[in-house]
């Protein structure tokens, strides 16, 4: 049995968060993960506020357990979503792609546990000062928006930099990754890509098939020129994006425009030509579609076995 402070703080059984995946992690996946004892998270992404409120209500009809909502701070309606989740008093708010400081007092006031995703020690410290309950330190192995540092380098530095609980994310998909994250100073993990192929995940089957088929070298990052690099599977779209990124005759605005709508095309339509299939570097390790509960119990059992056997390394 792994004993983690984050379980007591949030009232969950296992220190495993399901990472927010824009257009992908909606109420059914989040509720399945929470029902299995982890923390399910609904991704706000760029969705309209009313849609996200509906998802919260659907999740509440599917589980009595705590779940979270992720607010993507680059979304044009981020402020409106921030207020909506306060009114809904969701148990946990996680944030991505920006600094949520301006909303944190309001969230704390209504009793929400605030857990920002951070790519550096500086932002982790800022979040601690602003009253964060915990932080998720996410390395660049992850899918989606990526920071510069790897999980291996980032996680112990963030664990040293703050006194609040730290979760590790990026490149974690099994019990080995979880055990390693705990050794690096984390008290839990956030996992996205492996939950993408969960039976309860309603993403387009083409997306699942692509992740299941991917090899270790099949992801790439694009968009550095626009200031927010994104990791995705290598596809005709991502190769074309990279080409345009290196072409000085293509303006930033044109590049932004080229990327617009590509996440939806992947997740909803399964458009293998024009879609942007965000996925982490561990895609090559994700080989089996399973119920969310089975994913969680496998990861926990493997991590426990490894941690219990740790004394074998010490003479």
Q: Choose between 179 and 214: whose C-beta lies nearer to ligand TUI.
A: 214
Residue least distant from ligand TUI (Cβ): 144
For the chain, how many residues are written?
A: 315
The binding site for ligand TUI (CB under 6 A) comprises 22, 45-46, 72, 96-99, 117-119, 123, 138, 144-145, 147, 230, 263, 278
Q: Choose between 36 and 263: whose C-beta lies nearer to ligand TUI.
A: 263
Name the nearest CA neighbour of 16 among 267, 222, 190. Answer: 190
Least distance to ligand TUI, CB of residue 237, Å: 12
Least distance to ligand TUI, CB of residue 250, Å: 18
Q: Choose between 45 and 275: whose C-beta lies nearer to ligand TUI.
A: 45
Name the nearest CA neighbour of 138 among 153, 119, 157. Answer: 119
Other Cβ atoms less than 10 A from the Cβ of 291: the count is: 13
How far CA 278 is from CA of 22, 73, 166, 207, in Å, comes to 9, 18, 24, 9
Contact 207, 263 (CB under 8 A): no
Least distance to ligand TUI, CB of residue 188, Å: 16
Least distance to ligand TUI, CB of residue 93, Å: 13
Q: Residues 6 or more apart from 238 whose CB is under 8 A from it?
A: 220, 222, 232, 276, 277
Which DSSP string do the residues of 249-283 spell out, in sequence order? TS-HHHHHHHHTTHHHHHHTT--TTT---B--GGG
Q: Choose between 62 and 103: whose C-beta lies nearer to ligand TUI.
A: 103
Q: Which long-range contacts (CB under 8 A, 24 or more apart) does 84-92 make?
A: 84/49, 84/52, 84/53, 85/52, 85/56, 85/112, 86/110, 86/112, 88/53, 88/56, 90/56, 91/10, 91/11, 91/66, 91/67, 92/10, 92/39, 92/41, 92/66, 92/67, 92/68
Least distance to ligand TUI, CB of residue 172, Å: 14
Q: Choose between 123 and 272: whose C-beta lies nearer to ligand TUI.
A: 123
Least distance to ligand TUI, CB of residue 313, Å: 33
CA-CA distance, 307 to 181, in Å (whole number)? 11
| Lookup: tokens for 187 | 């008290």
Least distance to ligand TUI, CB of residue 231, Å: 8
Q: Choose between 46 and 297: whose C-beta lies nearer to ligand TUI.
A: 46
Q: Choose between 158 and 303: whose C-beta lies nearer to ligand TUI.
A: 158
Least distance to ligand TUI, CB of residue 2, Å: 25
Q: Choose between 144 and 177: whose C-beta lies nearer to ligand TUI.
A: 144
Please report where in the chains the tokens 């390395």 appear, as a residue: 139
**Which helix (DSSP H) or strand (DSSP E) does residue 129 occupy?**
helix 121-129
């Amino acid at each position: 049995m792994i004993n983690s402070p984050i379980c007591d703080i949030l009232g969950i059984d296992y220190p495993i968060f399901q990472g927010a995946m824009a257009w992908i992690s909606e109420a059914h996946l989040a509720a399945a993960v929470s029902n299995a004892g982890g923390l399910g998270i609904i991704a706000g992404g760029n969705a309209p506020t009313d849609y996200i409120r509906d998802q919260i209500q659907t999740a509440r009809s599917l589980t009595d357990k705590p779940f979270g909502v992720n607010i993507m701070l680059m979304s044009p309606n981020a402020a409106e979503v921030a207020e909506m989740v306060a009114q809904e008093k969701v148990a946990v708010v996680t944030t991505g792609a920006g600094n949520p400081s301006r909303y944190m007092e309001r969230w704390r006031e209504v009793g929400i546990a605030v857990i920002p995703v951070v790519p550096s020690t500086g932002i982790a410290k800022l979040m601690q000062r602003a009253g964060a309950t915990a932080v998720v330190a996410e390395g660049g192995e992850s899918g989606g928006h990526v920071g510069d540092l790897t999980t291996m380098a980032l996680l112990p530095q963030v664990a040293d930099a703050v006194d609040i609980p730290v979760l590790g994310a990026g490149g974690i998909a099994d019990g080995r990754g979880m055990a390693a994250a705990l050794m690096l100073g984390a008290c839990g993990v956030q996992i996205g890509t492996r939950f993408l192929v969960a039976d309860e995940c309603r993403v387009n089957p083409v997306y699942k098939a692509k992740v299941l088929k991917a090899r270790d070298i099949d992801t790439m990052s694009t968009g550095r020129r626009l200031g927010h690099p994104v990791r995705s599977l290598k596809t005709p779209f991502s190769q074309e994006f990279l080409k345009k990124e290196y072409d000085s005759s293509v303006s930033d605005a044109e590049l932004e425009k080229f990327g617009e709508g590509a996440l939806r095309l992947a997740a909803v339509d399964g458009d293998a030509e024009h879609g942007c299939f965000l996925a982490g570097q561990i895609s090559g390790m994700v080989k089996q579609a399973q119920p969310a509960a089975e994913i969680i119990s496998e990861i926990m059992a493997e991590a426990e076995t490894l941690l219990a056997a740790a004394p074998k390394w010490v003479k």
